[in-house]
Amino acid sequence: MKQGFFEITENLPLTDTVYRMVLSGDTSAITSCGQFVNIKLDGLYLRRPISVNDCEDGRLTIIYKVVGKGTEQMSRMQSGKLDLLTGLGNGYDTSLSGNAPLLLGGGVGVPPLYMLAKKLKAEGKSVTAILGFNTKSEVFGEKEFSQVADKVIVTTADGSYGVKGFVTDAMNGLDYSYFYTCGPEPMLKAVYSASNSEGQFSFEERMGCGFGACMGCSCKTVTGYKRICKDGPVMKKEEILWEK
140 contacts 110 by C-beta, under 8 angstroms: yes
Q: How far is the CB of 74 from another protein (least distance, A)?
A: 14
Contact between residue 19 and residue 54 where contact means Cβ atoms under 8 Å apart: no
Identify which of residues 160 and 218 has a Cβ nearer to another protein in the complex: 218
Q: Is 12 or 67 the residue whose CB approaches another protein more closely? A: 67
Minimum CB distance to another protein, residue 155 (Å): 26
Instruction: Considering the complex, state which of residue 30 and residue 207 has its C-beta at the smaller distance from another protein.
Output: 207
Q: How far is the CB of 213 from another protein (least distance, A)?
A: 5
Nearer to another protein, 98 or 216 (CB): 216
Rg (CA), the chain: 17
Distance CA 64, CA 22 (A): 11
Q: Which is nearer to another protein, 38 or 53 (CB)?
A: 38
49 or 162: CB nearest another protein: 49
Q: How far apart, in Å, are the Cα atoms of 35 and each of 105, 134, 182, 203, 238?
A: 15, 25, 12, 11, 20
Distance CA 233, CA 226 (A): 10
User: In the bound complex, what is the minimum distance in angstroms from residue 218's beta carbon to another protein?
Assistant: 6
- Report yes or no: 131 and 156 within 8 Å, Cβ to Cβ: no
Cβ–Cβ < 8 Å for 95, 42? no
Q: Residue 126 CB, nearest distance to another protein (Å)? A: 37
Nearest to 80 by CA among 160, 17, 14, 25: 25
Closest approach, Cβ 170 to another protein, in A, equals: 30
| Site for another protein, rule CB under 8 A | 1, 3, 40, 44-47, 69-70, 85, 205-209, 211-220, 225, 230
